[in-house]
């Protein structure tokens, strides 16, 4: 996707860039980082890097709307949404027992609101990906959330919600999810299990959470890998298998979960991929989409090391400078 100055797409990009962000993405729950390895300011740090180091004017970002209850009901049951009115449910999904004693309205405001904005960002990202050929939501990728339950810090199934909103306009779309977060995307696989319009490509560490053997049956292109896999083996697998999966799926859009919990210093992912390996991985996925002229939306997924934000920021910079030619 090279643009030149006579190109109308280039002119449009002078105004807006299909990267979606709001300050609401960061969890404002004070002290969360002390009881969970997650960097609660991760999303804002990536945004700041893109503004200050890459030089993207703040006005050029897209802002998401918060997903409405109606949006959430596209996928989730009423019973599940009601259960989130109890702090115990939120504590269980966040795997933080201490949250069960926090008043529910505080958790709704400080935690669930950010996930609703992230879900709104993924919804918007799908639309922008069709418009621009690519888009990046600086949050999202909650791939453990199922229709009637959450898990692994995932409350709402942002990708399935966005996908079913796309189906509202065109129900024959073929959708490919490339899930390269370290964890198995069991929520997405479970939600899409009977839908042959969705093609899931999932590379995950099979020795860690969630170990969902039922959901594993519904991954079309599944590649469980061992703990501590290194760059060469990991990248060779992607280089070999992604083009083939794209050929077989013929997707109209790729939704890419670019989890950085594959990083060697991530305590939850237990993989051994370097910063350079992650940047190369993201470039490889984007190049495959661009080469095949398939719109791509990237969402961030997991990433729990202190370096997660800067690695993602540098990787997006690399994509903008070397693949999209921004």
The end-to-end CA distance of the chain, in Å, is 9
Dist. CA 27–CA 112, nearest whole Å = 9
Question: Max alpha carbon distance in the chain (Å)?
Answer: 59
Q: Which residue is catalytic, options 27, 36, 144, 183?
A: 144
Dist. CA 225–CA 228, nearest whole Å = 9
Selection from 185, 211, 184, 180 nearest residue 273 by Cα: 180
Asked if 144 interacts with Zn ion (CB under 5 A), we say no
Strand order in the sheet with 253-257: 19-20, 134-137, 296-299, 253-257, 175-179, 198-205, 221-225
The residue length of the chain stands at 326
Of the pair 18, 277, the CB lying nearest Zn ion is at 277
User: Please, what is the minimum distance in Å from the beta carbon of residue 206 to Zn ion?
Assistant: 13
Of the pair 74, 263, the CB lying nearest Zn ion is at 263
Of the pair 87, 186, the CB lying nearest Zn ion is at 186
144 is catalytic: yes
The answer to whether the peptide bond before residue 297 is cis (omega within 30 degrees of 0) is: no
Beta carbons within 8 Å of 10's beta carbon, 6+ residues apart: 3, 4
Binding mask 55-74 for Zn ion (x = CB under 5 A): --------------------
Asked if 314 interacts with Zn ion (CB under 5 A), we say no
Asked if 261 interacts with Zn ion (CB under 5 A), we say yes
- Closest-by-Cβ residue to Zn ion is 302
Asked if 302 interacts with Zn ion (CB under 5 A), we say yes
Asked if 266 interacts with Zn ion (CB under 5 A), we say no
Stretch that binds Zn ion, among 37-45, 96-104, 117-125, 295-303 (CB under 5 A): 295-303
User: Please, what is the minimum distance in Å from the beta carbon of residue 110 to Zn ion?
Assistant: 22
Q: How far is CA 122 from CA 85, 116, 199, in A?
A: 24, 10, 18
Asked if 259 interacts with Zn ion (CB under 5 A), we say yes
User: Please, what is the minimum distance in Å from the beta carbon of residue 69 to Zn ion?
Assistant: 27
Q: What is the footprint of Zn ion within residues 157-216 (CB under 5 A)?
A: 181-183
Of the pair 37, 243, the CB lying nearest Zn ion is at 37
Phi then psi for residue 176, to 5 deg, are: -115, 130
Of the pair 269, 295, the CB lying nearest Zn ion is at 269
The catalytic residues are 144
Which positions touch Zn ion (CB under 5 A)? 181-183, 259, 261, 302
């Amino acid at each position: 996707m090279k643009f030149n100055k006579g190109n109308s797409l280039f002119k449009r990009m002078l105004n807006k860039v299909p990267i979606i962000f709001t300050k609401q993405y960061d969890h404002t729950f004070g002290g969360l980082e002390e009881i969970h390895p997650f960097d609660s300011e991760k999303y804002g740090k990536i945004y700041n890097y893109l503004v200050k180091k890459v030089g993207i004017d703040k006005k050029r970002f897209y802002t998401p709307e918060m997903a409405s209850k109606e949006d959430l009901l596209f996928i989730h049951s009423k019973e599940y949404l009601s259960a989130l009115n109890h702090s115990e449910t939120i504590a269980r999904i966040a795997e933080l027992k201490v949250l069960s004693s926090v008043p529910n309205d505080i958790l709704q405001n400080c935690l669930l609101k950010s996930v609703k904005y992230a879900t709104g960002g993924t919804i918007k990202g799908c639309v922008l990906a069709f418009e621009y050929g690519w888009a990046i939501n600086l949050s999202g990728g909650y791939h453990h959330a199922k229709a009637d339950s959450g898990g692994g810090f995932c409350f709402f199934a942002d990708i399935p919600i966005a996908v079913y909103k796309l189906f509202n306009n065109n129900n024959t779309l073929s959708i490919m999810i490339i899930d390269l977060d370290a964890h198995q995307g069991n929520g997405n696989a479970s939600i899409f299990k009977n839908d042959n319009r969705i093609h899931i490509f999932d590379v995950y560490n099979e020795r860690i959470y969630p170990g969902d053997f039922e959901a594993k049956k519904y991954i079309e292109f599944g590649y469980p890998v061992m703990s501590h896999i290194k760059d060469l083996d990991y990248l060779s697998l992607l280089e070999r298998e992604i083009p083939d999966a794209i050929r077989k799926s013929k997707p109209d859009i790729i939704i890419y979960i670019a989890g950085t919990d594959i990083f060697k210093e991530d305590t939850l992912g237990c993989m051994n991929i370097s910063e350079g390996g992650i940047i190369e991985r993201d470039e490889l996925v984007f190049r495959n989409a661009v080469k095949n002229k398939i719109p791509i939306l990237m969402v961030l997924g997991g990433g729990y090391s202190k370096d997660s934000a800067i690695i993602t920021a540098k990787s997006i910079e690399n994509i903008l400078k070397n693949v999209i030619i921004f």
